[in-house]
A and B are shown apart, each in its own frame.
Chain A
């Protein structure tokens, strides 16, 4: 009966993809703002309509609409900004506004965990690596032509946007097709969301949690094994020749 909502979701995803395609950086071609701005407006309007149909009262406030706009706009800038450091910072903005949306929906623990893990740890290392790779004076507008070509223009913009469209349209279509069930969320547990989440994770999903922990441990040991510098015992006391480092080092 409400199948038009599924098509609305597809249409929003399609318009959004077109806008992203127009906004992706190309060599020397500036994004056409007269085309881009109405497209982004349409996308955001469609998202707001969808939100209105499918979410509870918590998501119908002005600040949740603002957070949705911030996270979507930030996400577009992550892929379209020519300077990698700014891209990473927009990613931080996406993470923060998504965490705020989670808090609005009553999932405080998930929001805080998202900030700690993504904004606080993973993206710091991103920013760290990007900064090591690129000095800031290369990023000013006047020196656009001095930038390396993978920053100036995007590779395979059409294929990337098409893949993104399929992903977003599938998820949005499924949610839209599910109808109003999402509008009636389970009432929050008496003991508080955080405590309930902890209880569920360590009783019903105990094995999964342990497996995830073991997986992280293995990954950490692997990283240490790869990154560690080794020097054969015989070389430990020998005099060092310039340029020698790394030549006699066997990985295992």
Chain B
């Protein structure tokens, strides 16, 4: 009897081990299939971004504190590192108020719209090149650390980010509040204006690398060096427009607290307000990732050829870490700018876009096209960039009309008082 039991036990252990082996094999097969790997990666990226956003808010509070010679949040956990959890709990537990005279459907829809739009842009970001699992055959197609590798990568990001204005505009209008509505109007005008120079910068980069795919742009930079060397002004203008598209500080007229009491999200509370914040910070991360892929070498480290080409999972993880570090630097730059530079006035904002950035970037696109057509060296565009910068500086200094001046066409209207 004892023997039978032991035998059964052995059998059970054996079958359990076999089941485990089968499960492991199944998991390995799933992970080696690009479709399922993309789904897993999408979930991981979604979770990672949410965590990163929570800590970006803490980082923002810390950086604002250090800029203003304060300590910042330091009560919840050591150095305040549990503060995001406390904030999140607070957002969950507050009463979710829907005011009486709002357009209820749109009032609820707007924060979700802006949140979803801010998240789907991550699908085409190449996080860490390609790699092969240890159990894959040598001839198998390598896995790509990217949720979707589509033919129109960059255009997809532009299309998605052009939808982000709806959340702001609908939220502001549905609130049925004049301040919210002012915020919505400003946001619409601002985002439409700054999409033009953004498109021009992207066009210069697309012409240079000859591809719309972000991963091919990174490959191009692996061969030729970071694109920022050839188009420094395009990179700068792209950064400026990214600030404007994310409604960040010098361009946060849509929510300026002093005039509009928060603008489009004045009437929002609890989880819906949290969605607006999540969307804003997610948007910062997307636009940083896009800029890094286009102009700052993506996951590449200059001089570390072995890292850029090793096709193992570990190396891919290191590349993702490099990419994340670059994003972190960009986020810090965003935050330093927020706590350093004052807000633009609205006419200055419009003049900067239409009279400053658009002509500059048009010149760059034309120069890039000429370089391609004539077959000149790519360094020609560096010279053109420097020339555009010097000319713009000369005009703004010698022209006597700095951005702080008054708008000429408003002179008599202003006299109305």
A residues near B, CB below 8 A? Answer: 85, 89, 92, 99, 108-109, 112-113, 115-116, 119-121, 124-125, 127-128, 131-132, 135-137, 139-140, 192-194, 228-229, 231, 235-236, 239-240, 242, 245
Known: A109-B152, A193-B151. A115 touches B162 (CB 8 A): yes
Closest Cβ of chain A to B267, distance in Å, is 11
- Are A124 and B166 in contact, CB atoms less than 8 angstroms apart? yes
Closest Cβ of chain A to B260, distance in Å, is 16
- Are A116 and B416 in contact, CB atoms less than 8 angstroms apart? no
Q: CB within 8 A of B156: which of A112, A121, A137, A140?
A: A112
CB-CB contacts below 8 Å: B175-231 with A: 175-176, 181, 184-185, 188, 191-192, 195, 212
Closest Cβ of chain A to B98, distance in Å, is 13
Extra inter-chain contacts (18) besides given A89-B166, A109-B152, CB under 8 Å: A85-B106, A112-B155, A112-B158, A113-B155, A116-B158, A121-B192, A124-B192, A128-B169, A128-B185, A131-B181, A131-B184, A131-B185, A132-B185, A136-B102, A136-B173, A136-B176, A228-B409, A239-B415
Q: CB within 8 A of A229: which of B102, B106, B409?
A: B409
Known: A136-B103, A245-B412. A109 touches B173 (CB 8 A): no
Q: Which residue of B lies closest to A123 (CB)?
A: B166
- Are B192 and A236 in contact, CB atoms less than 8 angstroms apart? no
Q: Which residue of A lies closest to B101 (CB)?
A: A137
Please name all residues of chain B whose beta carbon is closer than 8 Å to the beta carbon of A139 when the two chains form the complex: 103
Known: A85-B106, A139-B103, A236-B412. A108 touches B152 (CB 8 A): yes
Contact with A along B138-178 (1 / 0, CB 8 A): 00000000000011100110111011011001100111100
- Are B162 and A121 in contact, CB atoms less than 8 angstroms apart? yes
Question: Complex Cα distance A108/B163, Å?
Answer: 17
Cβ of B413 < 8 Å from any Cβ of A?
yes
Please name all residues of chain A whose beta carbon is closer than 8 Å to the beta carbon of B166 when the two chains form the complex: 89, 92, 124, 127
Interface of B is mostly: helix
B residues near A, CB below 8 A? Answer: 101-103, 106, 150-152, 155-156, 158-160, 162-163, 165-166, 169-170, 173-176, 181, 184-185, 188, 191-192, 195, 212, 409, 411-413, 415-416
Please name all residues of chain A whose beta carbon is closer than 8 Å to the beta carbon of B165 when the two chains form the complex: 120, 124
Q: CB within 8 A of A245: which of B163, B195, B416?
A: B416
Nearest first, the 8 A-B pairs at minimum CB distance are A120-B162, A115-B159, A136-B103, A112-B155, A240-B415, A136-B176, A108-B152, A131-B173
Q: Which residue of B lies closest to A140 (CB)?
A: B103
Question: Complex Cα distance A151/B173, Å?
Answer: 18
Please name all residues of chain A whose beta carbon is closer than 8 Å to the beta carbon of B159 when the two chains form the complex: 99, 112, 115-116, 119-120
Q: Could you write out 5 A-B pairs with CB less than 8 Å apart?
A: A128-B185, A136-B102, A136-B176, A245-B412, A245-B413
Known: A116-B159, A136-B102. A242 touches B195 (CB 8 A): no
- Are A136 and B162 in contact, CB atoms less than 8 angstroms apart? no
Question: Complex Cα distance A121/B195, Å?
Answer: 9
Known: A125-B192, A131-B181, A137-B176. A235 touches B151 (CB 8 A): no
Please name all residues of chain A whose beta carbon is closer than 8 Å to the beta carbon of B181 when the two chains form the complex: 131
Closest Cβ of chain A to B230, distance in Å, is 22
Q: Which residue of B lies closest to A108 (CB)?
A: B152
- Are B176 and A116 in contact, CB atoms less than 8 angstroms apart? no
Please name all residues of chain B whose beta carbon is closer than 8 Å to the beta carbon of A229 when the two chains form the complex: 409, 413
Please name all residues of chain A whose beta carbon is closer than 8 Å to the beta carbon of B103 when the two chains form the complex: 85, 136-137, 139-140
Question: Complex Cα distance A228/B407, Å?
Answer: 13
Please name all residues of chain A whose beta carbon is closer than 8 Å to the beta carbon of B156 when the two chains form the complex: 112
- Are B176 and A128 in contact, CB atoms less than 8 angstroms apart? no
Q: Which residue of A lies closest to B162 (CB)?
A: A120
Question: Complex Cα distance A121/B415, Å?
Answer: 34
Closest Cβ of chain B to A219, distance in Å, is 16
Q: Which residue of A lies closest to B102 (CB)?
A: A136
Closest Cβ of chain A to B181, distance in Å, is 7
Question: Complex Cα distance A85/B212, Å?
Answer: 34
